[in-house]
Amino acid sequence: MDWLVSMPKVELHAHLNGSIRNSTLLELARELGEKGTIVFSDFEHVIKKNDRSLREVFKLFDLIHIVTTDHKTITRITKEVVEDFAAENVVYLELRTTPKRNDSIGMSKKSYMEAVVEGLRSISNLDINLSSDDFDKCSSTNEKKIFVRLLLSIDRRESTESAMETVNLALEMRDVGVVGIDLSGNPTIGEWATFFPALKFAREQGLSVTLHCGEVPNSVEIQSMLDFLPGRIGHACCFQDQEWRKLKSSKIPVEICLTSNIRTETISSIDVHHFAELYKANHPIVLCTDDSGVFSTNLSTEYALVSSTFGLGRMELFELARKAVDYIYAGKGVKMELIKVFESVGRTLE
Ligand code: 5GP
C-alpha cells in the first residue's frame, strides 16, 4: 500500500462535496446543530452509516449541501480536498462540482465558483498549478506538485436554461482552469433531451464533456449518450450487450469508481465488476474515487482494490495510472509534463 501511495496518480472523477473529509463534515454539522439549524444526532447517524443505496446517497448529498453551501465553507473544502489528493501523490486532479445558486445567502453560480477558486489559491503548502502548462511556472519550491483543473457539473434536476448558465460560466472561467462539463446527479431524475442542448453547445465552444452514464438501467438514454460521443463517461454499470459493443467500438474512456459502485450496490460484488472485462479488452479506463469522503476511500485504496481483486502487479498498476494521462482534459503541455513525471518514476521500476 505504501508503494501505491507514493506512485504518481491521476484523478479524473472526484466530486468536490463528496470528497469532503468526514471530520470536517461532522464539525460543520455540529456547529449547525448548536445553532439549531439541524438536529445533529440525526445527521451524525446518516454520515456514519457505511452502506447506502444509490437513492440514500443522493439523500445524503442533500444533507451535505445544507452544511457545506456557503462561500467560506466551499473555500475550505476545496483547499482540504486538494491537499488530501496531493498527500497521496495525485499529480493531476480534475475536480468537479455543481455551481449552486442560493439567493438567501447571496450566492450565485459564479460566486460559488469564485469560492472554489479562492480555495485553490489559498493552498500554500503545495506547488499547485491552476492554468498554465508547466510545473515550473509554480511559484514556490515545495516538493509536492499537482495540476488542478475544474469541471463544472450540471445536476440532473436542472432545466435547460440553468444548464446553459453553467456552460456559459465554464466558458468565462477557462483562464482559471475550467476545462469541461460533467452531467451528474440522481440518475432516476431528468431527461437526456433537457441537457443535450447545453452539452452540445459546450462541446462546440471547445469544452470537454463527461457524462455519468448507465448508473441505472436505461437503454434509450445510454444509447443517446454514447451516440453523443462524450470525451469520457463515468460508471457504465448497467449496460446491456449492445451497449457494451457500442462502447467498445467507440473507445470512449470509462471512469471506474469501484468502491462507489459496490457501496451503492450498483454492482453486486467486486469480482463481477466490469473493470475486469474492460481491462482485458484493453478498453481505455481510469480508476477514480467518485466521492472519497462519502465512501471512505482514496485513490491509492482503489488501486489496492484492483490489485487484491484482479491480481494486477506493480508494473500493471503503474501502467494503469500512467495511461490515465491520455484521457485528461488539460492540453498538450500538461500532458507532456505528466509524461515526464511518469517516465522518471518508471525508470526506477525497471
Ligand atoms: P458537488 O457537485 O456538490 O460538489 O458534489 C456532490 C454532487 O455530485 C451530488 O449532489 C451529485 O449531484 C453529484 N454526485 C456525486 N456522486 C455521484 C454519483 O455517484 N453519481 C451521480 N450521478 N452523481 C453524483
CA of 15 from ligand 1 middle (Å) equals 6
CA of 16 from ligand 1 middle (Å) equals 8
In ligand 1, which atom is closest to the CA atom of 260? 19
* Mean pLDDT score, 43-67: 80
pLDDT for 71 beyond 90: yes
Tell me how far CA of residue 297 lies from CA of 20, 72, 84, 240, in angstroms. 11, 25, 11, 29
Nearest to 293 by CA among 12, 15, 22, 25: 22
pLDDT, residue 46, reads 76
pLDDT, residue 261, reads 96
pLDDT for 136 beyond 60: no
For residue range 329-342, list pLDDT tens digits in order: 999 999 999 999 99
* Mean pLDDT score, 59-73: 89
In ligand 1, which atom is closest to the CA atom of 257? 19
pLDDT for 25 beyond 70: yes
Q: Is the CB of 158 under 6 A from ligand 1?
A: no
pLDDT, residue 291, reads 96
**198 phi and psi angles, rounded to 5 deg:** -70, -40
Nearest to 280 by CA among 258, 324, 310: 310
Record the pTM: 0.95
Q: Is the CB of 234 under 6 A from ligand 1?
A: no
Active-site residue among 215, 255, 302, 337?
A: 215
Q: At what angle do helices 192-204 and 219-228 cross, to 10 degrees?
A: 10
Mutate-to-test residue for ligand 1 from 24, 153, 213, highest number of ligand atoms within 8 A of CB: 153
Mutate-to-test residue for ligand 1 from 12, 71, 98, 211, highest number of ligand atoms within 8 A of CB: 98
Q: Is the CB of 255 under 6 A from ligand 1?
A: no
CA of 312 from ligand 1 middle (Å) equals 29
Q: Is the CB of 19 under 6 A from ligand 1?
A: no
pLDDT, residue 250, reads 98
pLDDT, residue 184, reads 98
CA of 62 from ligand 1 middle (Å) equals 10
For residue range 83-126, list pLDDT tens digits in order: 999 999 999 999 999 999 999 999 999 999 999 999 999 998 77
In ligand 1, which atom is closest to the CA atom of 187? 22
CA of 158 from ligand 1 middle (Å) equals 13
For residue range 247-270, list pLDDT tens digits in order: 999 999 999 999 999 998 899 999
Q: Is the CB of 11 under 6 A from ligand 1?
A: no
Give 234's contacts (C-beta < 8 A, 6+ positions apart).
Answer: 13, 182, 184, 210, 211, 212, 213, 254, 255, 257, 288, 290
pLDDT, residue 277, reads 97
pLDDT, residue 189, reads 97
CA of 30 from ligand 1 middle (Å) equals 23
The number of CA neighbours under 13 Å toward the Cβ of 252 is 28
pLDDT, residue 350, reads 67
For residue range 191-223, list pLDDT tens digits in order: 999 999 999 999 999 999 999 999 999 999 999
* Mean pLDDT score, 156-161: 98
pLDDT for 244 beyond 60: yes
Q: Catalytic residue at 161? A: no
Cα separation, 308 vs 348, in Å, equals: 23
Share of the chain above pLDDT 70, in %: 96
Q: Which of 9-13, 43-47, 72-76, 279-283 has the lowest mean pLDDT?
A: 43-47
**∠ CA 153-268-192, rounded to 5°:** 30
Q: Is the CB of 119 under 6 A from ligand 1?
A: no
Q: Is the CB of 291 under 6 A from ligand 1?
A: yes
pLDDT, residue 51, reads 72
CA of 185 from ligand 1 middle (Å) equals 5
Q: Is the CB of 18 under 6 A from ligand 1?
A: yes
* Mean pLDDT score, 304-313: 97
Q: Is the CB of 295 under 6 A from ligand 1?
A: no
Q: What is the DSSP letter of 287?
A: E
C-alpha cell at 94: 480534475
Q: Is the CB of 16 under 6 A from ligand 1?
A: yes
Domains in the chain with CATH codes:
2-349 (3.20.20.140)
Confidence band, pLDDT 50/70/90 cuts, at residue 142: low
